Amino acid sequence: MGFDTAYEAITEETDTGHRWAFGTGFTDPLAGVDTTVPAGIDGDDLAAYCLMLGDDSLVMSHRLQQWLARAPELEEETALANIALDLLGQARLLLTRAGAADGSGRSEDDYAFGRGEREFRNVRLTEVTDVDFAGLIARLFVFSAWRLALLSRLRDSSDPVLAAVAAIGVREVAYHRDYAAQWLIRLGDGTDYSRARMVAGLAAVAPLVPELFEAAAVEHRLAAAGVAVDPAELQPEFDAVLGQVLAEAALAWPDASGLARVAGQAGRDGVHTEAMGYLLAELQSVARAMPGATW
C-alpha cells in the first residue's frame, strides 16, 4: 500500500487494530494484575516507596541517555540506549503506581515534569555526572548490582504491582549488571591507562554507596508489612558480587570509611547534589516551556 508521507505509513492501522509505532500494540506488563492497594497497607507509604524506586530509574535513565553519541563505539551507544529504555519503562510503571496508590491520580508525566528538586527521592548515585566512560561503567555496575538485589526480593512483595514490576525488572537489570561487569573487567585488567581510568571511576562512586543501604522510615514500615525490602539486607549480596568482579579485574574497592552521610542529608530526603538541578533543567525543559502540551 502506498503512502504520501512517512508519517502516514507509521500511523496506519493494521489488520489487528494495533499500530507498530509510538509504543502501541505491545503487551501490557500489568495485564491481569490486581492494582488495588492491598488491605492494611497505607497508600501514602506505598506511593512514597514507588516514588523512590521510580525516581531512581527515571534519573539513571536520563543520565544514560546523555551518553548517546558520546560512547566509544556505536555498539555501546545502542547498549546504553537499551538499558536507558528498560529503566524508563520501570520508572513509568512505578510513578503511575504512586499516583494510584495515594489517590491523587497524578500521572507519570506529572511526577517526572511537575516536581521540583527537593521533591525527588532518588539516591544521589543516579544523578551525578561521569567524567568519562570508565566512570559511567563504575556507576552503572554499582547501581545495577544494588538494583538487581533489590528487585529479586521485591518479586515476593505483598503488593501485586510491585511484584510484577520487579519480575520484569530482574530480567532486564541482570543484563545491565552483566554488561557493566564485563566492561569493568575489560578496563580494569586492560592497559595502564584504562586501569587508571577505572580506578578513578570507582573512587568517584565509592562515597555514594553507603546511602544505598540506609533505610528511610517508610521502608522500615513497608518492609515489616511484606511490601518493601530493608536495603540493609541487600549489602551482603552486593558485597559478594562486587568482590567477585573486582577480583576478576584485579582491582580493589576504594576506602570510603568516614564518608557516610549525615542523617537527613541524602536523596531519599530530597537533598541532592549540585548536578541534580542541571539534570532537571534539561529533563523538564520542554514540559515547562509548553505546560499542558501533549504530543
> Structural domains in the chain?
41-289 (1.20.1260.10)
What type of residue is 133?
Answer: F
pLDDT for 281 beyond 80 = yes
pLDDT for 262 beyond 90 = no
Q: Alpha helices of the chain — where are they, by DSSP H?
A: 6-10, 43-65, 74-101, 108-113, 133-154, 160-188, 192-205, 217-224, 235-249, 274-283, 285-289
Give me the residue label for grid cell 516514588: 51
Q: What mean pLDDT do residues 20-49 have?
A: 78
Q: Taking the alpha carbons of 262, 265, 267, 272 in that order, is the dihedral positive or negative?
A: negative
Residues 71 and 66: their CA atoms lie apart, in Å, by 10
Residues 267 and 123: their CA atoms lie apart, in Å, by 5
Burial of 148 (0-12, 13-18, 19+ CB in 10 A): buried
Grid cell of 182 as nine digits: 564485563
Range in 1-5, 167-171, 241-245, 272-276 with the lowest mean pLDDT: 1-5
The reported pLDDT for the residue numbered 4 is 56
Contact 120, 272 (CB under 8 A): yes
Contact 268, 216 (CB under 8 A): yes
DSSP 177-210: HHHHHHHHHHHHTS-HHHHHHHHHHHHHHGGGSG
Q: Taking the alpha carbons of 77, 81, 87, 88 in that order, is the dihedral positive or negative?
A: positive
With pLDDT > 70 as the criterion, what percentage of the chain qualifies? 87
From first CA to last CA, the distance across the chain in angstroms is 26
* Angle subtended by helix axes 43-65 and 74-101, to nearest 10: 160
What type of residue is 207?
Answer: P
Name the residue with higher pLDDT: 145 or 264.
Answer: 145
The reported pLDDT for the residue numbered 7 is 39
Burial of 263 (0-12, 13-18, 19+ CB in 10 A): exposed
pLDDT tens string 203-255: 999 999 999 999 999 999 999 999 999 999 999 999 999 999 999 999 999 98
Residues 6+ apart with CB under 8 A from 175: 83, 86
With pLDDT > 90 as the criterion, what percentage of the chain qualifies? 77
